Amino acid sequence: MSLTKRQREILNYVESFLEEYGYAPSFDEIAQFFGYSSLATVHEHLSNLEKKGFLRKNYNKSRSLELVTAEGTLAVELPLLGSVAAGLPIEAIEEQETIAVPHDMLRSGQNYVLRVRGDSMIEEQIRDGDFIVVNSRQTADNGEMVVALVHGGSATVKKYYRERGRIRLQPANETMLPMYFDEEDVQVQGVVVAVIRKY
């Protein structure tokens, strides 16, 4: 169904807000951005977008706006920033692609996607060629699955453990040994929050 100019502007605003922050704007933020003095105007526009099948919302929950893609699933386009090793570290390479990710896989803050190379995380159901959704963070708790930069240039995905002044990066594959590094040689780039497999 066709959209009015203002409906298109509001949809674009919601989409860009979701991509930037990982959560939806509030009715107040929409009203402020477009200079509306009444939330009723925002409510009317959002209701029309919902009727036309572009948005879903839950009135009992704040920041509950969700985009509906052409396939009917809720998704956000995230940058695909290259490949990460599930095995030995490989060079971190940035690509200029995006991939649609279901909105419920995201965490607040910046999120991005990496393609997995290798089989070191197969016991966590992450296989060669899968995509992982990563929540960008510089810290992690013991046992979290992280994307780590090793020696400033090679990226790997492993379980993260801080042990007596060193870092253990633990594969989830019984045929592979853990990797040990000095703390200063490992930089956490983010925490894995979801896996996407394309058949």
Supply the residues annotated as catalytic. Answer: 120, 158
Whole-angstrom Cα distance, residue 38 to residue 177?
A: 61
Which single residue is written with the structure tokens 């699955």?
A: 145
* Dmax (CA) of the chain: 63
